Structure 1
């Protein structure tokens, strides 16, 4: 594949150089000078007739690329000095131009501003809208408008959980280093552009896209217009999040996201139409070359569409010039040009998937066709393309999305042709016809909408089959390389196995003696037979290697005998992930959640896709950690900051048992949560003081609150005040003790201590030798401080009874409740108890092995062990 293809070799080596520079950032000697010196050395060496120069020049190309990336990345810094502006950050004035399309969603407007000074620095701006009139005003702001605004300057938030989304890194790859938060549209002054710029051209494109989007809203039902806008012109703001999730679960998001498929369909329709209208070959090829860049601009110019558009233009030009073209050369040349223009494309998932799948199809489909026992060329090509695309995209898909549906192959094979051959061209034709004659456009759109309804029903039904949804932890780069290597070995073995001995010419062997040609034929048959035998030998090994790679990726820590307790940073709320060391059982305690207050008349503030802890944070984290199912979901109580994120968990991850306090809070969200659990076949279990859950030989949960069922009527009670009913339990894991307390308050603490004391006295005086219901107090290794460190709990008596070695407080950064309270912090400090806080430390991860607890935190990079100091 690489021999005699220098562009292929250079592009692969250049990409490898970028990867090294990105992975080993901070190497001081990598710079543009390094690139220049390596380039001079490579040219000089190539001109010398010495052995091994190809390998050395290849290594120099890698160095050149690494230096180029390091120089580019090193210049991506802010021109503002954080120390110099710290005093004026609360009243920061920014003057510049709006550099992208303004997104208005509910009570928030977001856009990017490019400063008007010589530095031309970009700022991410978020405006909190205070009234409906301000919302209407914000919708008039456009790209290229001059703007002066005043707000609070701050650095973007970093990832607060291990493997979590890093917004700071995300913005940095867009050359943005600062956020400006503005309160009220009155702090924003805009004016029309005073001179022409490229932003003015993009402004016109925004207007055109908006016009097309408005046309789709007039043609299609509200439930479909967002989907059609995303699929046809790349406007994704209005697509239903639940619908997008359904497509994502089936691996069909490439239908929604503009990609090479859309360019191919656009070109096919355009060329077919011009041929039917009698255009000459030269005319329709030139017209297509002009139309493709316009289509790329109108659909948003994402990396995948840029790649497809550049390839299409190069292919059209080669056809116009009647020159031979090499598909692999073309795609890698496009990739190299894009990486030279913007090295950060390499970290873009759209860029990665687009190029990997395209290269895979170019290289793999011919081999797949040879292995397909199908005579029909059309069916063989369709099946080969679908299978190869699935195999090639699989590692990148699970790396970023951590899920794969076993129905994905069938869904792509059946549904993609319908969308691509009917919905996309039909919707486009209906849109443009509507600009000429609206009734005809609506009639065509109605037909498309009916087909869409059937397609959406199929997607919705298939996405609900949890049996076919698989969850994969994020794989390592070494595994991804190994995956492609073993698949290459498998395909090679299958091709060898397909060899046969019929390739020789039997007629040449007639006669008493073999002719020279007959001898060659016999040798050829012998070679084919040997190759086939080699294929038979390699095939079982290759199959076993592929299966082994997949099994390892699905559960890489199957044999790790280590307990895990992760206090996930979900903001102002609780969520604790526990995995037992022996059985690898998964326990999730609470799921965080966002507390929202809705008042009548404020419906305009509602956002189409609001931030939801479960869907945006908790579920992705659990999937990244390879949680295929949750054995025990413990709901300590039913306040929003503890159960808000669990709705998404129940919808996307199988749950076996849900343990709760035996009460129900009169709240629509709570009712929906329990209804979803019942609909998914989750067993509901009430737990009370005295109950014991034996997870495995090393892990046991002793429930200590609420009161035992014998103290109540035994039924499910309606309880509005949930803090006093929090589930409290003591977990014993490999000899370590963990006290998890929910949002219990002082009265509950007193009752627990009284119950323990009564049980101790009963045990001492009883004659039947019955074991105690409750464990005794005494030192615990870790105390989860109740109610986010509120002063209403964690009393002196409670701390003196348990004497924890560590205390963990799950609390939101900049929360408005004043948590944790200084009184609680003082009580812990007086007893010398180290405190770990999610607002200061981010996620707190603890592991248990051989009775020793090791701790690490996301933000402060500290590692500790039980009873000791931070380790070196």
Structure 2
């Protein structure tokens, strides 16, 4: 199969120019545009000179004339192609230069350079997104600043807020905000980043279009409300990209299984919309020329509801180009349509050139267009047609996006192709029925609820595939991240291609792989595995945060803190086969200790929560319906043969929301866990002041969970009194806080304790042996 590649080079030139010039000063970008355009003009206007040759050619005049004419046409064509490529590059640079000039000058950028506080008015342009960070929830959304003190403006800004009120905003709403303006870091077409204080002051409702879109999304959420929790979180994401109800733990399973693309509205969704509308038009008797305009209106309505994300925009432009081909009667070809979509979109919005979502979308589509057809043809020789189609599509898309995924995550998804193959039969029914329910829900909620029930069954199968695939050993394998990781993966792919083309190399590679596989199987069969039998305590690797598990019985554990991310603690507990949590201890209400609470509850029965008596309110919202008790010094709990004794906090007045982080840290629950042959002290985030108050009451223990991730604020007497042979530091790799402090590591070394860190060793298990305790890292 041949592809029309004439638009590929102009599209690549447009894309690469935008991606590289965004990082340059505006004056330099304008210079690039001018020089490129001046270089292109002669190539487009001047024909190549015909060489003069006085010697008669030995061939016939007709043959020579044809050859000269053909060579002349070829030279002209190549010159014009280079000229068109340069013109596209010039247009791309000019677009970047105009936007860079707009955002790098004016009152908003002046405020940012001075780091000043100001009250401004802005229009929200993107959906708010929440993520944990810095001990609290961080809400990020894009907006367009329209008024600052003394001036009216119209420039893009990025808002970073913490008040939950920002999550309720809808694109096109105008708000008043107060915050500190700072200069954006890195290459981005933003006038400023605004660190917002307090809630938004809403100045008006969304536009009619956005109100209608939000109404449709809300009605879809209402239609799926009766489905099981996982299904009602996934189905809106598959249909309109609404992942607001998606459990973070399940989202992580989708990522590990290579199914995240199902949560992003893509060309598949639009193909279903276009196909359904065209089919309905055919049933109604509309001709070939009257049906496409109806499909265009349906596509535009779908884009508004699904939000103009990069993948949606790319798929929309391709779909509209295809409809244009249908109207004009010209044959539609995928590669030119993709190239045209890239060219048009990057010229309209140069920031897309640096959007990883846009890159992944384009690469996946290119894989389906270029790699899938020949692979399907080869596979069809040995496999049934439908199976060959599904396998070729899944493999082509995964291969195309793998370099970028490795660059971002530092992992290779081993099971992604097979997970996509298993999920594929359920994707079309789930998406088609979900789209139908979306269209029906604004008019008849009962009918939409009936439609989403079979869609939920299809989604349930996809969820089961994601969970099963993510739980498999080596579902993902580590690989170097960044550009070097992507390069080495491409080199490995080239080597694999060379091996597949040579029979001798295939035999050698098969022998080597067989030997490696045999060695792995033998090692797995003879190694003790992880977690080790009889584990007592596990410090889960949850990044910059704390999450620990104390074994109380097979399948049961006390959990102390939950880390910042539900997915990470959920996966750790799943590796430990923990199904019941008789007691969940939340030492204090900072996000790096309580943000993952929903992950602990994911499929597990949590019977009771113990938390600090000095702060209040948030724990009930994190775990509604679960009894909560406040910890005070002197309390004891006994679960099986495990005894838990509370050392701190002492009774006292509740802290107010205005108290600083140190006061909240010092109010942490400090608990000592004991059973025959094992003891540990888990000290939350208490700092030097609280440690000093406890130093005279600290018992001797085998294991100490070092307070506050090994921060500098440690009391030597407190650490020395524990006499722990093992010290655990739960800390995130390359964190922004400098944890653990070199001074703390030196202090622990001087006290003769062995230090183990989750950022270097992964999950860390403590187990009993005949001679004492042993440390078994997972990493």
Q: TM-score, normalised by structure 1?
A: 0.55
Q: Tell me how far apart the structure 1 counterparts of residues 513 and 288 of structure 2 sit (CA, whole Å).
A: 48
Deviation string for 1:579-599 (max 9, x for gaps)? xxxxxxx9989954389xxxx
Going from structure 1 to structure 2, the CA distance change for 1:612 and 1:416 (only over 3 Å counts) comes to farther
2:450 aligned with 1:443, yes or no? yes
Partner residue in 2 for 1:49: 48
Partner residue in 2 for 1:120: 154
Match of 2:198 among 177, 183, 205: 183
CA contact 1:490–1:539 (8 Å) conserved in 2? no
Partner residue in 2 for 1:206: 213
Following superposition, the deviation at residue 301 of structure 1 comes to 1.4
Following superposition, the deviation at residue 308 of structure 1 comes to 0.9
Match of 1:382 among 386, 390, 397: 390
Following superposition, the deviation at residue 49 of structure 1 comes to 3.4
Deviation string for 1:762-815 (max 9, x for gaps)? xxxxxxxxxxx9xxxxxxxxx99997444x7257999xxxxxxxxxx9999xxx
Q: Tell me how far apart the structure 2 counterparts of residues 335 and 60 of structure 1 sit (CA, whole Å).
A: 16
Following superposition, the deviation at residue 94 of structure 1 comes to 1.7
Q: Tell me how far apart the structure 1 counterparts of residues 451 and 719 of structure 2 sit (CA, whole Å).
A: 74
Deviation string for 1:703-743 (max 9, x for gaps)? xxxxxxxxxxxx8542323798899xxxxxxxxxxxxx996
Larger mean Cα displacement after TM superposition, 537-546 or 379-388: 537-546
CA contact 2:694–2:718 (8 Å) conserved in 1? no
Partner residue in 1 for 2:531: none
Partner residue in 2 for 1:803: none
Partner residue in 2 for 1:780: none
CA contact 2:238–2:265 (8 Å) conserved in 1? yes
Following superposition, the deviation at residue 246 of structure 1 comes to 2.0
Going from structure 1 to structure 2, the CA distance change for 1:3 and 1:479 (only over 3 Å counts) comes to farther
Match of 1:236, SS?
coil
Match of 1:155 among 166, 177, 182: 182
CA contact 2:10–2:85 (8 Å) conserved in 1? no
Going from structure 1 to structure 2, the CA distance change for 1:614 and 1:537 (only over 3 Å counts) comes to same
CA contact 1:101–1:206 (8 Å) conserved in 2? no
Going from structure 1 to structure 2, the CA distance change for 1:122 and 1:278 (only over 3 Å counts) comes to same
Following superposition, the deviation at residue 115 of structure 1 comes to 1.8
Going from structure 1 to structure 2, the CA distance change for 1:223 and 1:138 (only over 3 Å counts) comes to closer
Alignment of 1:765-784 (within 5 A): none
Match of 1:237, SS?
coil
Partner residue in 2 for 1:36: 34
Partner residue in 2 for 1:582: none
Q: Tell me how far apart the structure 2 counterparts of residues 785 and 229 of structure 1 sit (CA, whole Å).
A: 39
Going from structure 1 to structure 2, the CA distance change for 1:615 and 1:717 (only over 3 Å counts) comes to same
Partner residue in 1 for 2:238: 231
Going from structure 1 to structure 2, the CA distance change for 1:587 and 1:268 (only over 3 Å counts) comes to same
Following superposition, the deviation at residue 486 of structure 1 comes to 5.7
CA contact 2:25–2:100 (8 Å) conserved in 1? no
Match of 1:721, SS?
strand
Going from structure 1 to structure 2, the CA distance change for 1:743 and 1:340 (only over 3 Å counts) comes to same
CA contact 2:30–2:94 (8 Å) conserved in 1? yes
Following superposition, the deviation at residue 348 of structure 1 comes to 1.4
Deviation string for 1:395-452 (max 9, x for gaps)? 22222234444332222112122121x1121233344455555544433333333443
Q: Tell me how far apart the structure 2 counterparts of residues 282 and 29 of structure 1 sit (CA, whole Å).
A: 47
Partner residue in 2 for 1:11: 11
Following superposition, the deviation at residue 230 of structure 1 comes to 1.7
Partner residue in 2 for 1:720: 646
Q: Tell me how far apart the structure 2 counterparts of residues 544 and 476 of structure 1 sit (CA, whole Å).
A: 31
Following superposition, the deviation at residue 358 of structure 1 comes to 1.1
Q: Tell me how far apart the structure 2 counterparts of residues 60 and 115 of structure 1 sit (CA, whole Å).
A: 35
Alignment of 1:401-416 (within 5 A): 401-416=409-424
2:42 aligned with 1:93, yes or no? no
Going from structure 1 to structure 2, the CA distance change for 1:797 and 1:357 (only over 3 Å counts) comes to closer
Following superposition, the deviation at residue 146 of structure 1 comes to 4.6
Following superposition, the deviation at residue 266 of structure 1 comes to 1.8
Going from structure 1 to structure 2, the CA distance change for 1:73 and 1:591 (only over 3 Å counts) comes to same
CA contact 2:647–2:670 (8 Å) conserved in 1? yes
Match of 1:415, SS?
helix
CA contact 2:231–2:456 (8 Å) conserved in 1? yes
Deviation string for 1:219-249 (max 9, x for gaps)? 6455533322222122222222222222222
Partner residue in 2 for 1:644: 593
Any gaps of 5 or more consecutive residues in structure 2? 50-74, 518-537, 548-560, 577-584, 601-607, 613-640, 649-668, 674-684, 721-728, 747-779
Partner residue in 1 for 2:622: none
Deviation string for 1:311-341 (max 9, x for gaps)? 1111121122122343212211211111122
Q: Tell me how far apart the structure 2 counterparts of residues 224 and 250 of structure 1 sit (CA, whole Å).
A: 17
2:367 aligned with 1:360, yes or no? yes
Match of 2:277 among 251, 270, 283: 270
Going from structure 1 to structure 2, the CA distance change for 1:493 and 1:478 (only over 3 Å counts) comes to same
Q: Tell me how far apart the structure 2 counterparts of residues 785 and 375 of structure 1 sit (CA, whole Å).
A: 57
Q: Tell me how far apart the structure 2 counterparts of residues 590 and 418 of structure 1 sit (CA, whole Å).
A: 33
Q: Tell me how far apart the structure 2 counterparts of residues 283 and 478 of structure 1 sit (CA, whole Å).
A: 51
2:106 aligned with 1:79, yes or no? yes
CA contact 1:590–1:642 (8 Å) conserved in 2? no
Partner residue in 1 for 2:473: 467
Partner residue in 2 for 1:857: none
Partner residue in 1 for 2:521: none
Match of 2:7, SS?
helix
Q: Tell me how far apart the structure 1 counterparts of residues 719 and 452 of structure 2 sit (CA, whole Å).
A: 70
Alignment of 1:807-822 (within 5 A): none
Going from structure 1 to structure 2, the CA distance change for 1:541 and 1:119 (only over 3 Å counts) comes to farther
Partner residue in 2 for 1:283: 290
CA contact 1:148–1:189 (8 Å) conserved in 2? yes
Q: Tell me how far apart the structure 2 counterparts of residues 213 and 315 of structure 1 sit (CA, whole Å).
A: 29
Match of 1:6, SS?
coil
CA contact 1:18–1:65 (8 Å) conserved in 2? no
Q: Tell me how far apart the structure 2 counterparts of residues 225 and 276 of structure 1 sit (CA, whole Å).
A: 32
Following superposition, the deviation at residue 370 of structure 1 comes to 3.7
Alignment of 1:547-558 (within 5 A): none
Match of 1:120, SS?
strand
Alignment of 1:602-617 (within 5 A): 614-615=564-565
Match of 1:467, SS?
coil
Following superposition, the deviation at residue 214 of structure 1 comes to 4.7
Match of 1:718, SS?
strand
Going from structure 1 to structure 2, the CA distance change for 1:74 and 1:291 (only over 3 Å counts) comes to same
Q: Tell me how far apart the structure 1 counterparts of residues 735 and 175 of structure 2 sit (CA, whole Å).
A: 38
Match of 1:242, SS?
helix
Going from structure 1 to structure 2, the CA distance change for 1:539 and 1:38 (only over 3 Å counts) comes to farther
Going from structure 1 to structure 2, the CA distance change for 1:349 and 1:109 (only over 3 Å counts) comes to closer
Match of 2:265 among 249, 258, 275: 258
Q: Tell me how far apart the structure 2 counterparts of residues 144 and 794 of structure 1 sit (CA, whole Å).
A: 55
Partner residue in 2 for 1:423: 430
CA contact 2:544–2:731 (8 Å) conserved in 1? no
Alignment of 1:539-550 (within 5 A): none
CA contact 1:331–1:355 (8 Å) conserved in 2? yes
Q: Tell me how far apart the structure 2 counterparts of residues 64 and 543 of structure 1 sit (CA, whole Å).
A: 50
- Structure with higher RCO (Cα < 8 A, 6+ apart): 2
